[in-house]
Amino acid sequence: MTAETIKACCAELYERDWVRLLMGDSFHRGGLGLTERLAALLELDASSRVLDLAAGRGTSALHLARAFGCRVVGVDYSSANVAYANDAAKRDGLSEQVEFVQGDAEQLSGLEDESFDAVICECAYCTFPRKQAAAVEIARVLAPDGRFGLSDLTRNGPMPAELDGLISWIACIADAQPLATYVADLEVVGLTVTQIEAHNEALVELVGQVRGRLVAAEIMTRLQYVELPGGLDFKTAKQVARSAAEAVSAGSLGYTLIIARRDSHAE
């Protein structure tokens, strides 16, 4: 698959209700608890201007605005997700504090240089086909002394062959990278990693939840309460979930928070 195909397919599938059924509302490991942990490490407050990359339906961005009082711009590849998130901001009375725009993390052409105090990216960086391009853009939009908060899967060893293909891209597994690769991506664009935290327990919990939801969804489909989307089947999805659980147990998959800072003298 080409980079553009991957991005388009993932964006389209993330819009679907069945993905929310399997992954939950926040679409990332640890839910809003880990979002708050990331925000605390970034030292967000009411004066912070924050960029949420791959914001999805806006769950994290809206929560950050409510919990920390910061202003947030959410960028997502899916125009449908952007429309949904802006409607949610309006319903919550946060339209003046939070804005969602359609865009590509690898080319944030609509955002000015040094315009954000913090950038957050939760379980999405590993799905970007051109990760280094995204890192360049993150560094560009960060103000001097600004911080980047990344939470993502880490690949720590050999992966089962079935952890490939579109389902694994949706689950942020197929192109998960070693921790050292993420660190190198950030350092080469002038960011300094200041803190790393392992949160493998969040991954264990999510994999268990997805496996349980798959069983429930299969029952609902058989009873004709929901319709299985074309091109996907429960057998494949359950195999991916089983292989993911085995990879986590073997230590081949982990989940990590990374905080990096842009140097105050960056040009």
99 occurs within a structural domain: yes
The whole-number pLDDT of residue 230 equals 47
120 pLDDT exceeds 60?
yes
Domain span holding position 85: 3-262
Share of the chain above pLDDT 90, in %: 51
122 pLDDT exceeds 90?
yes
Structural domains in the chain (count): 1
Please answer whether residues 257 and 199 qualify as being in contact, where contact means their C-beta atoms are separated by less than 8 angstroms.
Answer: yes
18 occurs within a structural domain: yes
267 occurs within a structural domain: no
SS (H, E, C) 186-217: HHCCCEEEEEEEECHHHHHHHHHHHHHHHHHH
Residue 212 or 83, more confident? 83
Lowest mean pLDDT among 95-109, 223-237, 242-256: 223-237
- Mean pLDDT for the stretch of residues 177-202: 94
Check which CATH number belongs to the domain holding 182 and give it: 3.40.50.150
115 pLDDT exceeds 80?
yes
The whole-number pLDDT of residue 201 equals 83
Please answer whether residues 80 and 16 qualify as being in contact, where contact means their C-beta atoms are separated by less than 8 angstroms.
Answer: no
| Tokens read off for 230 | 């074309």
230 occurs within a structural domain: yes
Q: Across all residues in the chain, what is the average pLDDT?
A: 81
